[in-house]
Structure 1
Amino acid sequence: MGQGSSRLQPEELEDLQSISTFSANQIKTLYSRFKHLDKDNSGSISIEEMTAIPELAMNPLAHRVVAVFDSDGRNEVNFKQFVSALSVFSKQAKREQKLSFAFKVYDVNGDGVIDATDLFQILKLMVGSNLSDNQVQSLVDQTILEADVLDKDGAISFEEFKRAMFNADMENVLMIEI
């Protein structure tokens, strides 16, 4: 997509607008940033290049966020994936899209639920060595107990996640300016 050229073609812009919440000008701005990040001009950004972005580098969940960007699991992100994933962070993105993205970050193994193993891994990334494994496990157990209210299967489904996040200010937490 636009690979080898410094400009996106009109049909590429149209396609990207159809899969995102961005205007043509915003997509052009993103393309310029993407080209800057694509140090080897390969048409994709490696996981290492993505996690070096300052805003991501300081996030303890950076690798999980990038894993969600990397929807096909190839350890690189092409421009279409970049635009599609960043679209979730726009002001125009719906709350449901933002919640879905956050859910995917927490669903480490990608099985459609957040189980104790997923949650333990995420919390461990977030707290580092500030809490012992036993303390983290206690948080995991308590969180699942409080959130697993619909089917009581020992895991948090997307519907349960949405309920648990009811009061969260997703519109302002997951937002960037383009």
Structure 2
Amino acid sequence: MQDDLTLIMDDTADLMKKAIGHLELELTKIRAGKANPQILDGITVDYYGAPTLLSQVANISVVDARTLTIQPWEKNMLQPIERAIIAANLGINPQNDGIIIRMFLPPLTEERRKELVKRVNGEGEQAKVAIRNIRREAIESIKKLQKDGLSEDTAKDAEADVQQLTDKHIALIDKHCEAKDKEIMAI
């Protein structure tokens, strides 16, 4: 019984860490004024009929604070890469010179910064929902163990531990979102 409870607590903590990791990954994709190759993460290119990540068909580098360059490993990949970037709707137009693709990131307007802050807060809210769902599943598992013979006091203590873990991770989400908001609103 105690082993099952330990397993539930470990799984819950692990799943919550993964939810935080996912939030961190999503927040790095939201640009905050500086050129960052991670804004291109997740963009897939048609590579001879197979959808392939952009980072696997080209070298992405930061030239300066507002410029990214994309050097495809094969020259015939310039057009598919350009189409994929346009289709990703990043708000940045790629410029193809026949050798490399340059992306000039325009300075963020106040209106665009507010949109990005809303997007950050939306990602944070999704992460909180994920954490709460993990909590609900853990508490349901604890209640099943209680029906199978776990003492009521032990079950209540375990539920309190799950709630404490949930509160800790939700505070961490708020901290990440607040830091990203400050980064976006800094001029």
| Greater share of residues in helix | 2
Which one has more relative contact order, counting CA pairs under 8 Å at least 6 apart?
A: 2
Instruction: Tell me the TM-score normalized by structure 1.
Output: 0.30
Larger radius of gyration: 2
From the two aligned structures, give the one with the greater strand fraction.
2
